[in-house]
Structure 1
Amino acid sequence: MKINVIDKVNSNTIDLISGENLFNGENAFNDHFGETTSLEIDLLNVASGIFAADLGIKRNELEDYIRTIEISIEVVNVHAFERIKDLLEEALFVLSSDNWTIKFVPVDGKPEESKSWPDKKGTVLLFSGGLDSLSGVVHYKKQNSDLALVSHINQNRVVKDSQSGVLELLNRFYKTDLDYYPYRVFGRNKGEFLFPTDVERENTQRTRSFLFLSLAALTARRIGFRKIISIAENGQFAIHLPLNPSRVGPFSTHTANPKFIDLAKEIFMKLLSLDGLEIVNPFLYKTKGEVVGILDEEIANNANKSISCWKASRVSAKNHCGECIPCLSRRISLEYNGVYLDEYSRDLLKENISSLPPDDNGKRNLIDFLEFISKFKGYKDSDLENLLIHFPDLYNESIDEKEALRMYSRLSKQAYDVFDKYPEVKKVM
């Protein structure tokens, strides 16, 4: 199948060919479930093509970060995809803040025939190898839910090793082999079929959630777990209020945004004929500290097998830079629960923060985070209207504003409790 991507801002084009410079996950799907239907192949191409387009078109700086992307994708089941086209473009806008125009191009093939898919209780969980997905497994195991794990694997060896390490930890702890469905999806250079190099690529991967959920939805349909597909993401990063106005655009991701999840549910119900489908985030109104709090002691003490850092593949063997916002949030969540791990390339909290230059990345992130949590210190429901002025993102029909602000208030308290143990941080609090 052919996919043509046009970067309207910079007048660049990328041609993607499944099986050549686009690895769409079809081989893994065949290994898991046997012969693949045309609709399944279509969705694998659409989801992987969007993901590859997102990677292949680099953002410009600052106020020019918004991209305008046109993508033409060949599909057999063109009428099925036309029904969800508007929903998909809206979902991608919510995820990436970019302008997407999608065109589905019909190609010869046999459309998928109607079929009654199995329907049984169980959960398909997006398993990234991060701390939240680790906690997601524990959450559903404590509910005695039948569970299937779906992973997206790209060419990042660190992330792949993390997924393997966390899975091994869980299998050892539960004395069983969890049902695991990994899929390799990525863009690559292959002969005459080119793909942007690492330096040329966009590293935010904002549309990865649509790819991830597509893999989960297809897996759920085959095994019958269509009542719940779960994306386990703590409330801070699911709702993801920007730390300050300068981070509204290029720094504010929406990978588990509740609005996106609602749109994704509607897309997959219509496209895959999955009546009664549920896509949930059990941690939407929980802090990362509360998410870590559900872990058994043995698992928590081995949480270093998971990865949270955005720079995991670009730092030392410890795999956590120690200075990005995900690293700071991870450290707070673990230490709030009494778990202290030597896993950071930089021990920022013990540095003399005041003496660092203003453009030091760690200092800037820490100061922004401190200013952010100060807004929620001592929060009362009577503060709601004032905070809504500062955070208009909360005007969202998919978010309970009061529950969200109560969660951020608890985050604030938990962070202060941890920072209070570090004299150099207290000096700038």
Structure 2
Amino acid sequence: MKGTKRFLIKSGTGSSLSEADSDYTIVVDDYRTEAETEGGRLIKYKKNVLNDLFGRSPPQTVTALIEVALGTYAADRLVKRGPTGAKEDEEEMLKSRQIQILYPVADVERWQSLESELNHAISFISRDNFQFRFIDAIDETQSNDGDDSEHCAQIPGADSVALFSGGLDSLGGQSHLTDEGHNPHFVSVDHGRNVGHLVRNFDHLFDGNLTSIGVDEGFSAYENTQFTRSFMYFAFAAAVAVALDVDDIYVPENGILSRFSSLESGWTTTRTVHPLFVKSLNRVFEELFPDRNIEITNPFLGYTKKDVVNSISNKENILFTRTCPHPRELSQKKDDVGHPYNCGECIPCLIRIIGLVNSKHQIQPDELLLDNNHFLKFNFSTVSAETVAHSEQGRQSSLSVFLLGLNTHLSFAYRIQTSTQKELVSSNPELLDPDIFELYERFSKEVFRTVEFFAAENQTLKDYVIEFLSLEDGELDSLT
């Protein structure tokens, strides 16, 4: 492939392999050894955490899954997307990349049968062209798996695994799963971006029923989008599930961001819990672990963010959460214990705001913990839809990103409320499903209730929305 970046993934414990077919080497290692990178890029994870759960080194299939996921994440971070050249003619706002992953495995036939599925799954979430090639491992210390269940960890009552990041969705997932009678063991992947600090805010909820796995990039990253990070999360969740001898993996994320129907494909917001990706990864797990029934489920696929927030009973816990994926880099404000605020400008922050102000908890503007609350403080009379810079869409966070995101969701919500289902299906085929259509009907009302909420303090917001959507007198009130 023209312009392809080729990465060889090697284990830090050895694995002598010719690097003639790769441009770069990514070394996956644990924190206990000093791997010789030989000019390669190093990514470390706390393998001892998994060793403790298994009572030994994890089975080879588990180790290989983790290493290929970490190597994929590292490659994602090492290849800059570069200038898009996007203009106002609806050209794709994110530049796709060609990335090939070469990885030596012991059970090569099993892994080669998964190449096509992984190519499809990772290319889908990253919006790139990923190609995986699995070859025979030369390292004779690698061997096929034994009996995974022989040394399973004993955690009393654990019936599943659930991911926890310290955000609203994961906190809602903890509440929801508990209320539903489940007893999951929670897994957090601490790869920076304030995750470790956030998770420690909720130690009182877990009483030790949480495994945190540290990941550290030993290189300078060139790309910030990190679309493949959920592959890394799910790989660690699957490893813990095997260690605990459970099959269910719960990944809570609201259906608005999971399905991604309200946004075009060019946004830097993730679609890493999209049903299609989850379905693909479940097929991968089925092939890798044929004697088990490991399956990822999103319990919030039919929930708006408001529904997620309403599943949380303790308002104080809500105020400890952070949804923004990049607060440390962008937020100037911090709470009393030093945690950065949500930036208030990116798409996840926009969805968070809509969910909070529509919830039963009566969240007030000063409780939103936003570095920038443009809904309340921005003078919308200074801009129009035509003056918002479309070239800013590829950025993670800015005033232009906020305004573009607001415009996009206003347009989407208005179409949902003023068009027939048949008309909508032509551009959004999944809205033919009555459950998905009903989900977005509820969300559309929440969008306009958010406008109403802040317009009580900022009249320019209401005027802007009326002009942007060309609404008749009184029509805005009917949309809430």
* TM band (smaller chain): 0.7 to 0.9
- The match for 1:75 among 101, 105, 115 is 105
Partner SS state of residue 426, structure 2: helix
Paired residue for 2:474?
Answer: none
Partner AA of 2:406 in structure 1: L
CA distance in 2, matches of 1:274, 1:54: 31
Q: Indicate which of 201, 207, 211 corresponds to 2:228.
A: 207
User: What CA deviation, in whole Å up to 9, does each residue of 1:281-329 have, x standing for no partner?
Assistant: 1110110001111110x2x233232111132121122421112221121
Q: 1:352 corresponds to which letter in structure 2?
A: N
- Contact kept in structure 2, 1:88 and 1:267, CA below 8 Å: yes
Say if 1:69 and 1:100, in contact at 8 Å, map to a contact too: yes
Is 1:3 the counterpart of 2:18 in the alignment?
Answer: no
Structure 1: distance between partners of 2:447 and 2:256: 12
Counterpart of 1:425?
461
Return the alpha-carbon distance in structure 2 between the equivalents of residues 136 and 271 of structure 1.
27
One-letter code aligned to 2:435:
E
State whether residues 106 and 136 of structure 2, in contact with CA within 8 Å, keep that contact through their aligned partners in structure 1: yes
Distance 1:113 1:178, change over 3 A: same
Percent of aligned pairs with the same amino acid:
27
In the alignment, structure 1 residue 405 sits paired with structure 2 residue 440: no
Contact 1:24 1:44 in 2 (8 A): no
CA distance in 1, matches of 2:350, 2:267: 19
Tell me, in whole angstroms, the C-alpha distance in 1 between the residues paired with 2:121 and 2:216.
21
Matched residue SS, 1:276: coil
Residue matched to 2:428:
391
Please list every run of 5 or more consecutive structure 1 residues that lacks an aligned counterpart in the other structure: 5-10, 172-176, 189-194
1:114, CA displacement in angstroms? 4.5
- 1:364 matched to 2:404: yes
Q: 1:14 aligns with which of 6, 24, 34?
A: 24
Q: More displaced, 100-109 or 141-150?
A: 100-109
Deviation for aligned residue 1:234: 0.3
Greater RCO, 1 or 2 (C-alpha within 8 Å, sep 6+): 1
Q: 1:52 aligns with which of 68, 74, 77?
A: 74
What amino acid maps onto 2:24 in structure 1?
A: I
Q: Is the 8 A contact 2:122 2:228 kept in 1?
A: yes
Pick the aligned partner of 2:143 from 77, 89, 110. 110
Aligned pairs, number:
393
- After TM superposition, list the pairs within 5 Å mapping 1:177-192 onto structure 2: 177-188=207-218
**1:286-297 map, 5 Å:** 286-296=303-313
By how many angstroms is 1:16 displaced? 1.0
SS at match of 2:416: coil
Aligned partners of 1:88 and 1:267: how far apart in 2? 8
What is the CA–CA distance in structure 2 between the aligned matches of 1:385 and 1:169, rounded to whole Å?
49
Helix, strand or coil for the counterpart of 1:302? helix
Give yes or no for the alignment of 1:225 onto 2:246: yes
Residue 319 of structure 2: aligned partner? 304
Distance 1:252 1:168 in 2: 28
Q: Which amino acid aligns with 1:426?
A: K
Contact kept in structure 1, 2:285 and 2:295, CA below 8 Å: no
Checking the alignment, whether the CA contact within 8 Å between 1:26 and 1:41 is kept in structure 2 is: no
- The residue that corresponds to 2:395 in the other structure is none
Matched, 1:236 2:242: no
Distance 1:253 1:242, change over 3 A: farther
Looking at structure 1, the residues matched to 52 and 108 of structure 2 have their Cα atoms a distance apart, in angstroms, of 26
Q: Which runs of 5+ in 2 are unaligned?
A: 1-6, 11-20, 30-34, 36-41, 85-91, 335-339, 390-398, 466-480
2:476 matched to which residue of 1? none
What SS does structure 2 have at the residue aligned with 1:182? Answer: strand
1:275 has 2:292 as partner = yes
Is 1:163 the equivalent of 2:185?
Answer: no
- Separation in structure 2 between the aligned mates of residue 260 and residue 73 of structure 1, nearest angstrom: 22
CA change 1:2–1:252 in 2 (3 A) is closer
Looking at structure 2, the residues matched to 59 and 159 of structure 1 have their Cα atoms a distance apart, in angstroms, of 25
- Residues 234 and 285, structure 1, Cα contact 8 Å, conserved in 2: yes
Partner residue of 1:7?
none
Deviation at 1:76, TM superposition (A): 2.5
Question: Aligned partners of 1:310 and 1:242: how far apart in 2?
Answer: 19
User: Secondary structure, in 3 states, of the residue corresponding to 2:352?
Assistant: helix
> C-alpha distance in 2, partners of 1:61/1:405?
36
Equivalent position amino acid for 1:348 in 2: H
Aligned-residue CA RMSD (Å): 2.5
1:139 alignment counterpart? 176
Q: 1:270–1:45: structure 2 CA closer, same or farther, 3 Å change rule?
A: same
- CA apart distance, 1:102: 1.0
Instruction: Report the AA paired with residue 111 of structure 1.
Output: N
SS in 2 for 1:420: helix
Letter in 2 for 1:46: V
- Check whether the contact 2:380–2:461 (CA below 8 A) recurs between aligned residues: yes
Does the C-alpha gap of structure 1 residues 410 and 79 become closer, same or farther in structure 2, counting only changes over 3 Å?
Answer: same
Q: Distance in 2 between matches of 1:67 and 1:186?
A: 24
Residue 401 of structure 1: how far off its partner (Å): 2.5
Contact 1:376/1:408 (<8 A) preserved = yes
Q: What is the TM-score with the length of structure 2 in the denominator? A: 0.76
1:409 to partner: Cα distance: 1.0
Shift of residue 274 of structure 1? 4.5
